[in-house]
Chain A
Amino acid sequence: MKFFTINILIGFISLLLASDSSGFIKKLNGDASVLRDNKVIELKVGDKVFARDVIKTKTKSSIGIIFNDNTLISLGSSTHFVIDKYVFKPAQNEQSFVSTLIKGTLSCITGLMSKLNPEAMKIKAKTASIGIRGTHFAISVD
């Protein structure tokens, strides 16, 4: 039964091989930018995000991202967040999502990634490595 459920879930997710983006900006309050290939780009709702992006929010700002596997991540104000690695290819059974919260706050509801592979998702903060086995959580780095 579990097998069928997972198959249904896979079906619902686009196996986004055509584009190599990791997700997109769904919500934005105030100002946020991304450091990509040594360039700072202001972010708007609908913009795609990619592996190796460094996302920064300003004071009184926050941002909400939908990743390809439907993992939802939002960042509070004055936050620095790095997408170190994002691989989601369920057809090839490859999943890995490694990110770093340098400072600030983050909330997350996990998506298909950690359902398919509980080892796939990891968030680094200072010297700690936080293994996410699923569902809803928040992290702050002061």
Chain B
Amino acid sequence: MKNIFVLLVITLFFNACSKVNVVLLPEKNNKVGKIEIKNKNKTITVDKPYQQVEAIDGKSEILTKEEVYNKFKESISTLPKEPKNYRLSFKWDSSQIVPKSNKTLKTIIKEAKKDSTLYIDIIGYTDRAGEEAYNKKLSLRRANSISRRLQKNGIKKEKINVQYYGEANPIIKTKDGVAKKVNRRVEVTIK
């Protein structure tokens, strides 16, 4: 009997100590998202900036920005920056970029060379003029040409991840056989 009592006290003690706090923060553009907490049969919605909800007992309060940043200082200050995305346009049926994209390529090389850059994703695409199988290879040629340009500028091959999707994922959807400038592209993500 005494043992059961001790066990009960220990259980209550641990339950009282176990807290799950969820805090919603505003985004850069001051937009606020939404979080839904499900615990057993309850659902709690968190949708106000700096709102903290204790997920187990459902207690909700609005904290100040300072309180939140103090509590989560370590993790918030270690959040990585969002990766940068760039788009290069290509000449018709070619793995050469259009002159307008030269400036973007220079920026990409500059960013890729930075010590803070760990990985670079290069993804090739085409429009829907011509055969699908041919376009798949063309998209690889486009991606490879950019990969080679980066390597010529001293960027290590191990950092580069080349992908090619041919006609897939167009910026603007078209019927098959249609030439569409905006879809002839390579997209580069600097991580």
A residues with CB within 8 A of B: 4, 7-8, 10-16, 18-19, 24, 26-27, 29, 45-46, 62-66, 70, 72-77, 79, 91, 101, 105-110, 125-142
Contacts and interface: CB of A to CB of B under 8 A. Distances in A.
Nearest to B47: A133
Nearest to A130: B37
Interface stretch (B3-11, B79-87, B99-107): B79-87
B76 to A, nearest CB: 5
A5 B119 CA distance: 24
A125 B75 contact: no
Nearest to A63: B78
A14 B17 contact: no
A70 B82 contact: yes
B189 A139 contact: no
B189 A141 contact: no
Given A72-B80, A142-B17, 7 more contacts: A13-B121, A66-B80, A70-B82, A74-B78, A79-B75, A105-B74, A140-B71
A7 B75 contact: no
A142 B33 contact: no
Nearest to B68: A138
B174 interface: no
B117 to A, nearest CB: 10
A140 B169 contact: no
Given A91-B168, A126-B55, A128-B55, A133 B35 contact: yes
Interface string B148-178: 0000000000000101010011111100000
Nearest to A26: B80
8 contacts: A15-B163, A24-B118, A62-B77, A75-B78, A109-B82, A133-B36, A136-B25, A137-B24
Interface string B34-56: 11111110000010000000011
Nearest to B85: A12
Nearest to A12: B85
A129 B62 CA distance: 21
B110 interface: no
A131 B72 contact: no
A110 B79 CA distance: 11
Q: Which of B39, B80, B161 has the most chain A CB within a 10 Å cutoff?
A: B80
Given A7-B170, A128-B37, A76 B75 contact: yes
A8 B87 CA distance: 10
Contacts of A4: 171-172
Interface string B169-191: 11111000000000001010101
